[in-house]
Amino acid sequence: MESLDLQVLAAIESWRHQGHRFILATVANTWGASPRPRGSWLAVRDDGRIAGSVSGGCIEDDLIHKMRRGELWQPRAYALTYGATRDEALNFGLPCGGILELLIEPDPDVALLQGLAEHLGKGELVKRTLSLDAGVVTLAPAQPGDQFHWDGKTLTTLHGPQWRLLLVGAGDIARYIAPMAMALGFEVIVCDPREEYAASWNVPGTRLLTTMPDDTVRAITPDIRTAIIVLAHDPKLDDMALLEALPSQAFFVGALGSRRTNEQRRKRLLEHFGFTHAQVARLRGPVGLPIGSRTPPEIAVSILAELTQERIRHTTPPSPHSLQECGLLADDLERGVVRVAD
């Protein structure tokens, strides 16, 4: 399953071959609650077809209508704001106090978008920078510390697997987790030294390692954008992974198994491996939200739900309580929906 960015880029490539024009909209900023995170993409074709998403649907509908009326074509990229007034926010289905600023790129450089798609297809993390003043878009390999940026003049977005997920155990549950995790923006690494499991692993886009779990965890050097989930159903393999995962910087460490199995696992880690209670408390087990899942795909959904919840908790800043706290005045927005940057 492709990432959302790749899905949009694939649609754009198809439209180009069919001779269509299109605009690319990026969520540049939000105030208050927002349906989609900053950096989200929506492409709108000249006949109103869309790919991607920037809201729950109402803003997409408005952009489609604007496109069909020819209102989105400008000679340069520009900002478009929704939710400037309470009535407007309600009309567009934005949460109370929600304001959404989009950056609209009419007829973006197709060659650069093709280049971006090629990089993403190789699993690379890419920084895309748009300068409104210069009217120039550039691509560059993303560096540690790079992040989304919008200051009204320059938009920097990151594309590609910004997160890593290590799955220890190449069984059925991992087979369902992997494609959904890739769609959520994770680079998926699967570790299983058992020949019978490794030989049957066939999920495209993932990286399979057959080294021992502890060696694998050390080799990938987990950071704060890494999640590790053990699914091997083999205490030797699972524990080996946890010995390295729990003291690491990984933001999420989970283990499959029943409550009893996980209590026994915690006891082993405390009594035989010298872990502190604080370290063992990091272990999420049984991993997954309690939705009553039983089958491998249901269990995969529950695990990814908990993983997504934790990732959002770690990355979403608190929403400001007022426009003034954002440095944005309501009367500035009242002047009109479209604001073309100087």
* CATH number of the domain encompassing residue 301: 3.40.50.720
Residues 308 and 257 in one domain: yes
Q: Which domain holds residue 249?
A: 163-315
The 10 Å CB-count burial string (b at 16+, else e) for 151-189 is eeeebbbbbbbbbbbbbbbbbebbbbbbbbbbebbbbbb
Q: What is the mean pLDDT of residues 233-238?
A: 91
**Cβ proximity of 191 and 168 under 8 Å:** yes
Whole-angstrom Cα distance, residue 233 to residue 202?
20
Considering the entire predicted model, what is its pTM?
A: 0.72
What Å distances lie between residue 95 and 83, 86, 87, CA to CA? 9, 10, 11
Instruction: Give the count of domains, the chain.
Output: 2
Same domain, 263 and 282: yes
Residues 168 and 311 in one domain: yes
**In this predicted structure, what is the pLDDT of residue 87?**
58
Q: Mean pLDDT for the chain?
A: 87
The strands making up 149-150's β-sheet, listed across from edge to edge, are: 136-141, 126-131, 154-159, 149-150
Span of 22-31, 305-314, 329-338 with lowest mean pLDDT:
329-338
- Whose structure tokens read 């059925």? 172
C-alpha span between 60 and 38 (Å, rounded): 16
Task: Please give the structure tokens belonging to residue 39.
Answer: 């950096």
Least Cα distance to 245 among 257, 230, 265, 258 occurs for 230
Report the chain's terminal Cα–Cα distance, integer Å.
40
Same domain, residue pair 15 and 108 = yes
Question: Do 180 and 47 share a structural domain?
Answer: no
112 within a domain of the structure (yes/no): yes
Q: Using pLDDT thresholds of 50, 70 and 90, give the confidence band for residue 330.
A: very low
Q: Which two tokens stand for residue 105?
A: 């790129």
pLDDT digits (tens, 9 = 90+) for 9-31: 999 999 999 999 999 999 999 87
Tokens 């390295």 — which residue?
A: 244
- For residues 167 and 146, state if they share a domain: no
Q: Diameter of the chain by CA atoms? A: 70
Q: Express each pLDDT in 40-60 by its tens digit.
A: 999 999 999 999 999 877 889
Please report whether residue 342 resides in a domain: no
Q: Answer whether residue 328 is part of any domain.
A: no
